[in-house]
Structure 1
């Protein structure tokens, strides 16, 4: 079955596309309320109210009305004692992880760990194949490639002190959100004034203090909110943080490449947000948000030093990442024949990232600097309408449709001192590129007491236009293409509490500017990379079948999934030439060639053992294979089981979580790149936490991670590390760690 297929004059719609069109082409679309259903167990806790989500359908609805697996994290689950960064955010969520390798980079080559908390891995896929948004605005892309030497840019442009809710959606979602939704989506939503103001309150706020021994971090946050009248609310927030290197269980503190203890590191973060909410009446609501996140760091890279008196004597690294966003979100009640509600979003976002490596050597050049920057400017606009009406005979429909337009301008610069003899600074690895995406989308939802049928369809047109630059010596390639992404979801309610759901969806990811025009040339060694104007978008189709239920004190959700992914882009493939031949140098190019199959299942449950005691269980397992090469997919993490117990005693809440991660089987590892790849053994950790409601408005909380001080390795951080590596302990996870937080609302 072909999905998200680029259109051509001979295009023939796939049966799934036709089915979606037929289902959406019914009478005037409408909806009746689905029967109430109990909330399912959520990651890290549950709510006694129906959990509302947005990411699953582009409009607010109860989570049990979405035919897909979604984890919702908010409230006390975002307590800073438990969650201080995105790595902590997914600590207890099956089939989701965040990579954070140790910073062991060199002066010119080797970028291990420089991307920090690199980004999210969902069901075995990571990087730009996972869509990330903040208040609906796309987060800047990951940029990592061997051609950037010691630089690698991750996607941790967040400050969780500004976030009030996180939704993690599994599976392809391009039918609603377009490119980058191959694996899933992580949608974050910033704090609103209503989150802090109690009914009738005109001024309030929150002050938080936090500290964590795992990376010697400490932080303070102050958020103020006010409602001077019935039509105006405002919010202002400042979050400041300091931290050091992430701990591990390495014991070698040598000041050279044999070191296994972390390199010394000093990080700073400063984030501010201002928000104004206007409700002038007549069903209107306007939200204006200004957000700025700034993260910087310094690393003393002892691990890049030579073990002798010759070679590299010293390497230092600095990193600076900034993201600034200004957005307006407007909602209007229109009550017309074509829409009940209209929503418009316009946002401008600029991100700037810079990584510098400074090296002192005994050989010439004795002093060299590599300075790499990446900038991304984004304009994004969405106009969305919703229409609902009863169809009679106990059926209703709701239509969500609209247009989505974004324009991104991406650029890079490599400069410094003491460039390799085959290069001249400054230069660009890809030319300045403007990416324009224009899309039309529609989702129709048919609802009865027993059934919900939810077809969706989106048409995307993307255009990557590269500009000529004196710092880019090749003739740049440009690319235009389109994709049609269908989705068909269904929910069956045999009883009021039981929901059975299925979701068949397509996804795609457009080529990046670097993949299109990757440039590197070594005239001495006679090899190079060249542009590829014939790249196609990566494509996916996924199927998920699941069930949610509540039987007395038991709430649970189970899902099985499978997916096929085509035209994966491999960035460095030999396409011609001969090594060492100056007339015909060895030539690399980004090409479509990967084909992957992923499948697995997940289980989440909550059991009320008593009025004050809850038992939580979560399990996730994924298997992946590169079907073209017939080898396992190394981006898939091993299976994981989590069992948690929560107990309430008066003003105290106590919790314990036991996590068991299965060993990485040798049959699940592709040894092509690293023949002696290290396969981490299984491990079990115990986490404890407690919170004390000191007063009605003040909460003191603490957590102890890895109570038994277990030494273990996370698979995602050791990919490419040999089993016999003398510095294997450098990649180990932190030992026992303690975090505390004090939060006061007023």
Structure 2
């Protein structure tokens, strides 16, 4: 961990807030040393600092640099998690987070926390960044709504660190930052080269090649650090008609030029998948249908291609100086969802995205720091949903739009220490949305859209006693309106149809209040807790006539508690509990329920044993996960309140390292029959995606 001295503490703390958005080569966070890795580090007001508590100051050294709850997942940590086919599993141990894909093909990565992002939104309401590049896709039509985060192009070998920032507390993150932000930083290249193969149940096959090295063009020149990752994955599903083919290529070059550290990342992703859809829980429980069968007897399908580049710059010395990000992407995705035994609704996105970010950090001794910057993103292309009949496209569309979405913003964030035991922070964002929407289905609804939103942030942290830190903050976050919320789609029909309306909706804002503490009663025991209250001030809601308007409000209240303990050096333990006290619409639409479909109770437990014996290192991880109290509505009208079955998952993973060889075995137990983490309430009841009771697999890797 970093040991900041009194002269650089404030500078480092504040600059760390930008580093996930800058070059990976400039990260101040270090992974745990081999043989000493621990379970997840949850950082609330400097809990990552390993100095004795009486030698710390309240300026945080976590990735957010803010008085807030932050969970940090390192590359070492990822190696102990059963990720398998779903990259969302990397969030399995984070307190209060539900993340999954539910084996329906590469349809986006479900990510839900603090009562936001109910089923089907695939990470919306959480701002996700990779090396400073926003991952949320606005106005997506490929079956996942507005603002989903598609992370299937990532593999564990590409990731250096993940930070989960709870709440909209940082001004460095923009659109979708309502529940919080997840900056992901890729590896810089300083990893060993390797080749690995893996097998898992249901014909899962994976091959991974990692090539890492340093190259100098001239003897006196700065070396270039290179990291290349190729990952090929093929698998079938527990369900008869489920399968995925996925290819990922990653190449990152990093070097120092003058006073800057630069990195260039290139990626290509391709996938093809089929999906068995969802089945009615009552039919499964009565034995009417086979749990491995396909919804309507007609499998869904999907495909995706993404080609990306990202160029980053950070200061070569210290954290004061200029940071820059420039990126571009060609994004293609299609997803067909079966709606009857003969019909699909097929959503597709064909977009070109370019953007950039520039920020400067200035420090004032060891007492204050100020960062200011600007960012811009241009998203241009087509988004549509079309009706297919018996596998053939028809002339009827749900919607069809040609989009030019220009967003830009200014941000400033500062920190100040009036005394050593107190840190104050403040931030401010101003964002604008300049849209050109060409409605190909209802041309009369084509429109230009221009609106702005301002979101302030305030926070404070106080070291009350050695071993006890308190924090509090109040912050606003926002979510942009979707194109179909601005320009109407109407009933399914042909392109160029008459009619259409334009709706005057504003970006949806939330105000969030957080209080919490971290306590270190013993050197090897840390307890953290945070309570939150979030008011969604102007939720955009669809009306019975098909229009959209800002109606306000939804309310979310809850708390999370986590304890981490290392009783002896080879053993680490963690436990967390998250409780959502309230998550409901304050003024629900007629004939709908008020409660949001998020878990009321979430429990996570885990243990790790790591020991070196006669030249062999053994690492064993065991994790348990429970969610209960997820409400849903059924009937016509949908006002009959029900609760999904409790979901329990147990993970076991063992890794054996000997010389240049590594062998790993894993198993996953999901004992509750027909219970899943995500499901959908419908008029007839609950639609679920059945999961196998057991999953297991193995992998071998050679390092060179």
Report TM bin, short chain. 0.7 to 0.9
The structure with the larger Rg is 1
Matched pairs, number: 634
SS class of match (1:432):
strand
Shift of 1:121: 1.0
Q: Quick one: which of 349, 356, 359 aligns to 1:384?
A: 359
Long gaps (5+) in structure 1: 1-28, 53-58, 103-112, 197-203, 248-261, 362-366, 576-587
Aligned with 1:514: secondary structure?
Answer: helix
Q: Which one of the candidate residues 195, 201, 208 is aligned to 1:221?
A: 208
Q: Deviations over 1:161-190 (max 9, x none)?
A: 422322221112573222211111222222
- Does 1:693 pair with 2:670? no
Deviation at 1:371, TM superposition (A): 4.8
**1:135 and 2:107 correspond:** no
- Of 587, 590, 608, which aligns to 1:646? 608
Q: What corresponds to 1:12 in structure 2? A: none
CA contact (8 A) 2:424 2:461 kept: yes
SS at match of 2:77: helix
* Offset from partner CA, 1:242-300 (integer Å, 9 cap, x none): 1122x3xxxxxxxxxxxxxx24222100011111112123x211111111122211347
2:193 maps to 1:205: yes
> Measured at CA, do residues 450 and 523 of structure 1 come closer, stay the same or move farther in structure 2, by a change above 3 Å?
closer
Q: Distance in 2 between matches of 1:478 and 1:153?
A: 23
Provide the secondary structure at the position in 2 that maps to 1:611.
Answer: coil
1:655 has 2:621 as partner? yes
Give unmatched runs, 5+ long, in structure 2.
1-7, 15-27, 50-58, 217-221, 281-287, 290-294
> Is 1:347 aligned to residue 327 of structure 2?
yes
Match of 1:607 in 2: 565
User: What per-residue deviation string (whole Å, max 9, x for no partner) do you get for residues 120-170 of structure 1?
Assistant: 11212113222122211111427677x979999873443224223222211
User: Aligned in 2, Cα 1:303/1:544: closer, same or farther, shift over 3 Å?
Assistant: closer
For residue 345 of structure 1, report the CA deviation from its aligned partner: 0.8
- Among 148, 152, 155, the residue aligned to 1:160: 155
Query: What residue in structure 2 maps to residue 254 of structure 1?
Result: none
Q: Alpha carbons of 1:713 and 1:569: their partners in 2 closer, same or farther (altered >3 Å)?
A: same
Shift of 1:436: 1.3
Asked if 2 retains the 8 angstrom alpha-carbon contact of 1:348 and 1:380, the reply is: yes
How far did residue 519 of structure 1 move? Answer: 1.1
User: Aligned residue for 1:73?
Assistant: 73
Q: Distance in 1 between matches of 2:376 and 2:144?
A: 34
Which 10-residue stretch deviates more, 453-462 or 652-661? 652-661
Bigger Cα displacement from structure 2, 149-158 vs 347-356:
149-158
Higher relative contact order (CA 8 A, sep 6+): 1
Structure 1 match to 2:245 = 268
2 CA distance for matches of 1:152 and 1:503? 26
Please report the RMSD computed on the Cα atoms of aligned residues, expressed in angstroms. Answer: 4.2
Residue of 561, 564, 578 corresponding to 2:535: 564
- Does the 8 Å contact 1:173/1:182 carry over to 2? no
Alpha-carbon offset, residue 95 of structure 1: 1.9
Alignment of 1:630-645 (within 5 A): 632-645=594-607
Mark the CA change 1:692 to 1:234 in structure 2 (over 3 Å): closer, same or farther.
Answer: same
Superposition deviation, residue 401 in structure 1: 0.8
Structure-2 separation of matches of 1:154 and 1:340: 31
Match of 1:22 in 2: none
TM-score (norm 2): 0.79
Separation of aligned partners in 2, 1:351 and 1:477: 24
Q: Equivalent of 1:287, from 263, 271, 293?
A: 263
User: 1:660, 1:683 within 8 Å by CA — same for their partners in 2?
Assistant: yes
Alpha-carbon separation, structure 2, partners of 1:325 and 1:457:
30
Question: Is 1:184 matched with 2:147?
Answer: no
Are the equivalent residues in 1 in contact too, given 2:96–2:578 (CA < 8 A)? yes
* Inter-partner Cα distance in structure 2 for 1:456 and 1:611: 40
- Mapped partners of 2:313, 2:149: distance in 1: 31
Distance in 2 (CA, whole Å) between partners of 1:375 and 1:642 is 39
Q: What's 1:374 paired with?
A: 349
How far apart, in 2, do the equivalents of 1:419 and 1:741 lie? 40
| Mapped contact 1:530–1:589 kept (Cα < 8 A) | no
The question of 1:322 aligning with 2:305 is answered yes
Residue 192 of structure 1: SS of its match in structure 2? coil
Contact 2:487 / 2:501 at 8 angstroms: preserved in 1? yes
Contact 1:115 1:152 (C-alpha < 8 Å) held by counterparts: no
CA offsets, 1:599-647, max 9 Å, x none? 1111111112223222211111113121123954323223111222222
1:182-581 equivalences in 2 (<5 Å): 182-194=178-190, 196=191, 204-213=192-201, 216-229=203-216, 230-245=222-237, 247=238, 262-281=239-258, 283-299=259-275, 315-332=298-315, 340-356=320-336, 371-390=346-365, 396-414=367-385, 425=395, 429-447=399-417, 448-467=419-438, 469=440, 472-521=442-491, 530-550=500-520, 551-570=522-541, 572-575=542-545
* Residues 1:116 and 1:643: Cα distance change in structure 2 (over 3 Å): same
Q: Does structure 2 conserve the Cα–Cα contact (< 8 Å) formed by 1:43 and 1:92? A: no
What SS does the aligned partner of 2:406 have?
strand
The verdict on how the C-alpha distance between 1:520 and 1:454 changes in structure 2, with shifts beyond 3 A counting, is same
Contact 2:628-2:644 at 8 Å conserved across structures: no
Indicate the SS of the match to 1:545.
Answer: strand
Given that 1:718 and 1:731 are in contact with CA atoms closer than 8 Å, whether structure 2 keeps it comes out as: no
Post-superposition offset of 1:529? 8.6
2:577 alignment partner in structure 1: 619
* Normalised TM-score (structure 1): 0.75
Q: Distance in 1 between matches of 2:63 and 2:555?
A: 28
Q: Are the aligned partners of 1:431 and 1:472 in contact in 2 as well (CA < 8 Å)?
A: no
How many Å separate the matches in 1 of 2:348 and 2:64? 44
Q: Judge conservation of contact 2:243–2:273 (CA < 8 Å) in 1.
A: yes
Q: Give the match's secondary structure for 1:634.
A: coil
Distance 2:628 2:398 in 1: 43
8 Å CA contact 2:31, 2:75 repeated in 1: no
SS at structure 2 position matched to 1:120: strand
> Deviation at 1:428?
7.4
Shift of 1:326: 1.0
Contact 1:157/1:323 (<8 A) preserved: no
Cα pair 1:349 1:377 within 8 Å, conserved = yes
* 425 and 222 in structure 1: CA distance in 2 versus 1, 3 angstrom threshold: same
Task: Name the CA shift for 1:149/1:452 in 2 (closer, same or farther; >3 Å).
Answer: closer
Whether contact under 8 Å (1:72, 1:165) holds in the other structure is yes
Q: Which moved more, 1:400-409 or 1:711-720?
A: 711-720
